[in-house]
């Protein structure tokens, strides 16, 4: 069994390398290779960071919630990020220090995300015998609420300030800040390493709150720590390229179907690989078929949204 799982992981890693190489070298124009290759390399590194952050956040979040239909994006975390970002522009203006200093702006939005995650999800976790559909409804309502307020603020802010935030509303791998990329890569490496260290706890949390406490897991402290990690990871991906709603849901569920195990030491790396493969393929489709005239999130959310509906129908038929 373990040999088979390790073989599947090895195949996924090989596909990641192959798809990354194809994106990097397919269609290169040798007359402008000195410009084209570094630009593609930058986007490749960016996709590694974003894919890794989304995969880690959704694997951790589903271990906490013990449900494969819930992800941070579906629960509205990326909508909170965009709301805070637009709110700072609305109150202080696009040229204020809070918005021009990317590190200060990122720090404020991360703190807001952490606060929201702890308040909302700790409250939900205290409720007993709550249906997953109720939690989904809460997440959809919260996401819609923050997106509606964000849209309203965009309508009444100064037009020049609106242009400053408009580019962040859709996933775009061409407009990432190189300084934020470096910081994000460092934070991501630390958090992924920490996630691998916490894999035994994730396996136990998947059994449920009562079983985790019985097995000696400090449940409150662990869930708070993991929620903070999720908030930071979602902030990383959203700050770099914008929201990608269904990537995490799609890749983690495909990882479960492919690996046929609940052990996170296999699910987590499989989800990482599938996230990278999805981003490489989606970006390739956008650049070579649509000539970069559409956003990569549209391709991913179209497929991921259909897959989400499929999962809901499948779950309903099995209940």
Asked if residue 3 is part of any domain, the answer here is: no
Asked if residue 266 is part of any domain, the answer here is: yes
Asked if residue 304 is part of any domain, the answer here is: yes
Name the residue among 60, 112, 59 with its Cα closest to residue 81: 112
Determine contact, residues 110/237, Cβ cutoff 8 Å: no
Asked if residue 231 is part of any domain, the answer here is: yes
Which residue is listed with tokens 């290759």? Answer: 37
Total structural domains within the chain: 1
Question: DSSP 3-state assignment of 245?
Answer: coil
Give the pLDDT of residue 51.
92
How far is CA 59 from its chain centroid? 10
Give the pLDDT of residue 254.
93
Asked if residue 2 is part of any domain, the answer here is: no
Name the residue among 302, 297, 258, 300 with its Cα closest to residue 278: 300
Asked if residue 27 is part of any domain, the answer here is: no
Asked if residue 98 is part of any domain, the answer here is: yes
Q: C-alpha distances in angstroms, 2 versus 9, 43, 175, 205, 263?
A: 11, 34, 42, 22, 11
Which CATH number is 311's domain given?
A: 1.10.3470.10
- How many C-beta atoms surround the C-beta of residue 236 within 10 A? 27
Residue 85 belongs to domain spanning: 35-318
Give the tokens for residue 249.
């849901």
pLDDT tens track, the chain, 319 positions = 788 889 999 999 999 999 999 988 887 777 778 888 888 888 899 999 999 999 999 999 999 888 888 888 888 888 888 888 888 888 887 778 877 788 888 888 888 888 887 777 767 666 656 666 677 777 778 888 888 898 888 888 877 777 767 665 655 666 566 778 888 899 999 999 999 999 999 999 988 888 888 988 898 889 889 988 998 898 888 878 777 878 899 999 999 999 989 899 999 999 999 999 999 988 888 877 766 656 777 778 888 888 888 888 877 766 5
Q: C-alpha distances in angstroms, 178 versus 57, 173, 240?
A: 22, 11, 9
Give the pLDDT of residue 104.
86
Q: How far is it, in rounded angstroms, from Cα 209 to Cα 219?
A: 7
Asked if residue 11 is part of any domain, the answer here is: no
């Amino acid at each position: 069994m373990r040999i088979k799982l390790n073989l599947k992981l090895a195949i996924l890693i090989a596909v990641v390398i192959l798809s990354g190489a194809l994106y990097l070298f397919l269609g290169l124009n040798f007359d402008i290779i000195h410009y084209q290759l570094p630009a593609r390399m930058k986007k490749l590194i960016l996709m590694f960071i974003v894919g890794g952050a989304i995969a880690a956040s959704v694997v951790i979040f589903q271990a906490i919630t013990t449900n494969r239909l819930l992800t941070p994006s579906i629960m509205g975390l990326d909508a909170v990020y965009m709301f805070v970002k637009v709110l700072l522009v609305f109150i202080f203006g696009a040229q204020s220090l809070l918005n021009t200093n990317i590190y200060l702006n990122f720090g404020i939005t991360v703190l807001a995300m952490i606060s929201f995650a702890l308040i909302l999800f700790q409250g939900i976790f205290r409720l007993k015998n709550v249906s997953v559909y109720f939690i989904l409804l809460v997440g959809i309502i919260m996401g819609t609420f923050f997106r509606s307020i964000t849209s309203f603020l965009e309508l009444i802010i100064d037009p020049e300030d609106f242009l400053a935030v408009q580019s962040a509303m859709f996933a775009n791998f061409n407009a990432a800040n190189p300084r934020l990329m470096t910081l994000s890569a460092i934070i991501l490496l630390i958090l992924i390493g920490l996630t691998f260290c916490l894999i035994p706890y994730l396996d136990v949390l998947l059994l449920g709150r009562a079983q985790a406490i019985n097995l000696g897991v400090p449940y409150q402290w662990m869930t708070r720590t993991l929620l903070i990690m999720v908030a930071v990871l979602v902030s990383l991906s959203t700050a770099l390229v914008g929201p990608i709603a269904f990537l995490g849901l799609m890749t983690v569920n495909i990882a479960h179907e492919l690996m046929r195990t609940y052990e996170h030491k296999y699910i987590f790396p499989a989800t990482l690989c599938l996230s990278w493969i999805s981003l490489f393929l989606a970006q390739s489709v956008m650049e070579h078929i649509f000539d970069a005239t559409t956003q990569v999130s549209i391709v991913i959310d179209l497929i991921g949204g259909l897959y989400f509906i499929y999962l809901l129908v499948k779950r309903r038929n099995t209940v």
